[in-house]
A and B are shown apart, each in its own frame.
Chain A
């Protein structure tokens, strides 16, 4: 299938991009990596009349550490995240999730900003942002604003970004030394869309109790699902196998996955339980060893 006709712009500054976006919205769409948008255009499920290619805005493709956080420019390619020693050290959860994003070829073009703005509930990055309580920075005609993860994802493939806004940066807290992280995913083959995905962290206190647990699910609803009840079960207690199982069952009960060609909702819910248990077990082991995904 071929896309419908459109006018193409390749601005050299963010200001120029915003100006074109404001002039032509709601018929304009920002093109980042194109790995989600172009398939939609080729199917004609999306038919923007004006396409604004921000691939030239290299300022938006930097990875910075500041004040115990990672600030990742929205145009940072997923392959650059995969290859970044800073990400591997400071956000092992993001690193491990990146390895599950499609295939290397897709990651060479796909961006972190694009993945979050596209907001596919089965995608890895929205679950990671949700688990870590990260936020994004958006720039529009009225200026800049910060959108925390719980306020970003509205429903399937819909965020609270205004049509005149561009997502410019993603911010994640750095992972501390007593925290173990794990990203697990069930897919038909490695690289396929997640049937369910789990982003989990466990932070241990001195005595080995769970000081904090974080669990977010991909593919368990219309937006990434943060499992606060399960997190509460773990908090302050020794994370023995039975407790992890209880937490996994809590996630299973909370999940509201959408049925599709690959799996029924019942199956997906059962797999939530299995993959949460695996993620928590791995995260715990890594926290105990003081060693995240190598």
Chain B
């Protein structure tokens, strides 16, 4: 039995019908064509599927689309506005914070949330946050440096 859901994703309102068992990740990717949210493990350990719901980071593979009825979702596509990179994304660009890019949506989401809650984190706090997202390419060093650089840059914290 399908359920109707109404939700906002990256500022756009959608109304769809979903099977209860459809994961939020697959809904975003298949029903809405937003393939920036990645499928890494489907059991909540890799973090590549991280999105924002109601302003908080969540692992979209651990939610069913039907649970997002009435919610405001922001995916990696919604982090920037008008094609302008956020200070965090700019820092990733400048500090080689990605290679294959598979973990990057998760890294950006978690780092964005960290900097919102704590605009001046210690490196330990950055490492603790990033430990939740698995990266097989970079060895984490450049990702950490990207977040350090973003925190140090005289911009406002990401406001989304």
Indicate if the CB atoms of A8 and B57 lie closer than 8 Å: no
Kindly state the separation between the CA atoms of A32 and B109 in the bound complex, as whole angstroms: 23
Q: Mark A40-58, 1 if CB is under 8 A from B, else 0.
A: 0011000000010101000
Contact of A108 among B3, B23, B26, B57 (CB under 8 A): B57
Interface size bracket, B side: 20 to 34
Q: Cβ of B61 and Cβ of A42 under 8 Å apart?
A: yes
Q: Which of A97-105, A176-184, A239-247, A282-290 contacts B (4 or more CB under 8 A)?
A: A97-105
Q: Of the 9-residue stretches B94-102, B128-136, B152-160, which lies at the interface with chain A? A: B128-136
Q: Mark B119-133, 1 if CB is under 8 A from A, else 0.
A: 000000001110110
Query: Quick one: closest B residue to A83, CB to CB?
Result: B117
Task: Classify the interface of chain A: helix, strand, loop or mixed.
Answer: loop
Interface residues of A in 103-129 (CB under 8 A from B): 103-106, 108-109
Interface size class of A (residues with CB under 8 A): 20 to 34
Does B15 interact with chain A (Cβ within 8 Å)?
no
Q: Is A5 an interface residue (CB 8 A)?
A: yes
| Chain B 1-45 near chain A by CB (<8 Å), digits 1 or 0 | 101000000000000000111010010000000000000001110
B64 contacts A8, C-beta separation under 8 Å: yes
Measured CB to CB, the nearest residue on chain A to B54 is A108
A2 to chain B, nearest CB (A): 7
A1 proximity list for chain B (CB < 8 A)? 42-43
Q: Of A7, A35, A191, which is within 8 A of B62 by CB?
A: A35
Q: A105-B132, A190-B131 are in contact. Are A43 and B43 (CB under 8 A)?
A: yes
Question: Which of A3, A10, A105, A189 is within 8 Å of B110, CB to CB?
Answer: A105
A39 touches B44 (CB 8 A): yes
Among B21, B59, B66, B128, the residue within 8 A (CB) of A105 is B59
B56 surroundings in chain A (CB, below 8 A):
79, 108
Q: How far is the CA of A5 from the CA of B73 in the complex (A)?
A: 24
Q: Do A104 and B21 touch (CB < 8 A)?
A: no
Which B residue's beta carbon lies closest to that of A39?
A: B43
B75 CB-CB contact with A under 8 Å = no
> Nearest CB to that of A55 among chain B residues?
B67
Nearest A residue (CB) for B51: A105
* Bound CA–CA A4/B63 (angstroms): 14
Q: Is B79's beta carbon under 8 Å from chain A?
A: no
Provide a sorted-by-A list of 11 A–B residue pairs whose CB atoms are within 8 angstroms. A7-B1, A35-B59, A38-B62, A38-B64, A42-B42, A104-B129, A104-B132, A105-B50, A105-B57, A108-B56, A108-B58
User: Hey, which bits of chain B sit against chain A, CB under 8 A?
Assistant: 1, 3, 19-21, 23, 26, 42-44, 47, 50, 56-59, 61-64, 66-67, 109-110, 113-114, 127-129, 131-132
Seen from chain A, the residues whose Cβ lies within 8 Å of a Cβ on chain B are 1-8, 10, 34-35, 38-39, 42-43, 51, 53, 55, 79, 102-106, 108-109, 189-191
6 closest Cβ contacts across the A-B interface?
A103-B132, A8-B20, A39-B43, A105-B57, A38-B62, A108-B56
